[in-house]
Amino acid sequence: MKACGYCGGQNPDEAFHCSGCGKEFENSTPPAPPPAQVSVAGAGFGIRVLARLIDMVLGLGVGFAAGFIGGIILLILAKTGVIEPGWRKNLGGFSFTALAFAFLGNILYHFFCEGIHGATLGKLCCGIRVVRMDGGPSTFKGALIRTLAYYIDGLFFGLVALNSMNKSPLNQRYGDVWGKTLVLKNDDIAPEWQRSSMHFILGFFLGFCCWVMAMVASLVLKVI
């Protein structure tokens, strides 16, 4: 117990104010308030599926670009004798390493887009963005966790994610819960936490290039 120097009242050791007169004790700092939480509902399942489909369409462009660049690289390797004749037959074969690189490219695309700006091309077109639990700009950690968790949330055509969102007042899939993120409509994000178009351009450029290069690597590894 500690005594108040003003009125002499007895108070618990952890008290910051006297219970009798209300005077604040010296050298006492009240506990910080809990982090703010957004009060609006997160983006729904349908709009998020649409954003994912747009990113899948983008993947066709990534595949075309990777095929063009990879074809040039393979022709150069063939001309210099690095790979043996008949290498084209190996392009149709299955390779776990090539598949892993293809998945890695998709992961890096979402990681950079959502970590730097909060939105992939699909999310940008749908007017939604990944943010922290307090509504602030997304982080690389949160983007990585939710991106990796997508391969769990996406099981059974997204029913795993839908089950999580139905139980969450903020429409969080499991990746959002684990990554402490939300997906909000742009209009629901505070103006001071909006990120500029340059953030999107940087994130998209890095993500797209990593996705293309990973796909190129997957093609080349099938042959070498």
| Of 138, 136, 128, the residue nearest 203 (C-alpha) | 138
Rounded CA separation 80/36 (Å): 61
Task: Read off the pLDDT band of 159 (50, 70, 90).
Answer: very high
For residues 171 and 79, membership in a common domain is answered with yes
Domain range for residue 6? 1-32
Q: Give how many domains the chain has, as a whole number.
A: 2
Give the pair of three-digit tokens for residue 181.
């993120």
Residue 40 maps to a domain: no
Are 68 and 148 found together in one domain?
yes
Residues 151, 178 within the same domain? yes
Whether 117 is in a domain gets the answer yes
Tell me the pLDDT tens digit for each residue of 7-60: 777 777 667 667 666 667 665 555 555 555 555 778 999 999 999 999 999 999
Instruction: Answer yes or no: is 38 within a domain.
Output: no
Tell me: do 27 and 49 sit in the same domain: no
Residue 167 and residue 110 share a domain: yes
Give the global pTM: 0.79
